[in-house]
Amino acid sequence: MSGGGVPAQPPGVDPPRPPGVDSLRTAAVDHPRTGGVDPPRTVGVAGAGTMGSGIAQVACLSGARTLLHDPVSEALDAGLQRIRAQLERGVERGRLGASRAEQASARLEAAPALEDLSDCQLVIEAAPERLELKRELFARLSDGIVSDDCVLATNTSSLLVTAIAGAAKRPERVVGMHFFNPPPLMRLLEVVAGEESSEGALELARAAGEAMGKHVIIAADGPGFLVNRCNRPFGLEALKLLEERVAAVAEIDRICRMAGGFRMGPFELMDLVGVDVGLDVSRSFYAQSFGEPRWRPSPIAVKTVAAGRLGRKSGRGYYDYSDKSGPPPQHRPPDPEPLSSGGGDGLIVIGGSSPLALALADAASDAGWEIAFPEDAQDLRAPFLILDVGFGEDADLPLQGGPQAICCAQGSLAALDPGGSAVGFHALPPLEEASLVELTRGPESTESAASAAERFFATIGKHTAWVADAPGLVLGRIVCQVVNEAAFAVAEGVGSAADVDAGMLHGLNYPRGILAWADQIGLDHVLAVLDGLYEERRQERYRASPLLRSLVMSGRLGRQTGEGFFPHDP
Positions marked catalytic: 157, 178, 190, 228
Taking the C-alpha atoms of residue 283 and residue 417, their distance in angstroms, rounded to an integer, is 39
Q: Cα separation of 356 and 370, whole Å?
A: 18
| Angle (deg, nearest 10), helices 514-521 and 523-537 | 90
How close are the terminal C-alpha atoms of the chain, in Å? 17
Side-chain-side CA neighbours of 451 within 13 Å: the count stands at: 3
- Name 144's Cβ contacts closer than 8 Å, sequence gap at least 6: none
**DSSP-based helix, strand, coil % in the chain, nearest 5:** 45, 15, 45
C-alpha span between 481 and 74 (Å, rounded): 45
CA torsion sign for 156, 160, 161, 166 is negative
Cis previous bond, 329, omega within 30: yes
Number of alpha carbons in the 13 Å side-chain half-sphere of residue 341 = 20
Cis preceding linkage at 511, omega within 30: no
Cβ-based neighbours of 12, under 8 Å, separated by 6 or more = none
Q: What letter would DSSP give residue 403?
A: -
DSSP codes, 446-483: -HHHHHHHHHHHHHTT-EEEE----TTTTHHHHHHHHH
Nearest to 501 by CA among 488, 514, 510, 489: 514
Question: Residue 563: beta bridge partners?
Answer: 558, 567
CB 56 within 8 A of CB 86: no
Closest listed residue to residue 430, CA positions, set 363, 480, 482, 372: 363
CA distances from 303 to 154, 293, 295, 351 (A): 32, 20, 17, 44
35: three-class secondary structure by DSSP:
coil
Rounded Cα gap, residues 489 and 510, in angstroms: 18
CB-based contacts of 512, cutoff 8 Å, min separation 6: 1, 2, 261, 501, 505, 520
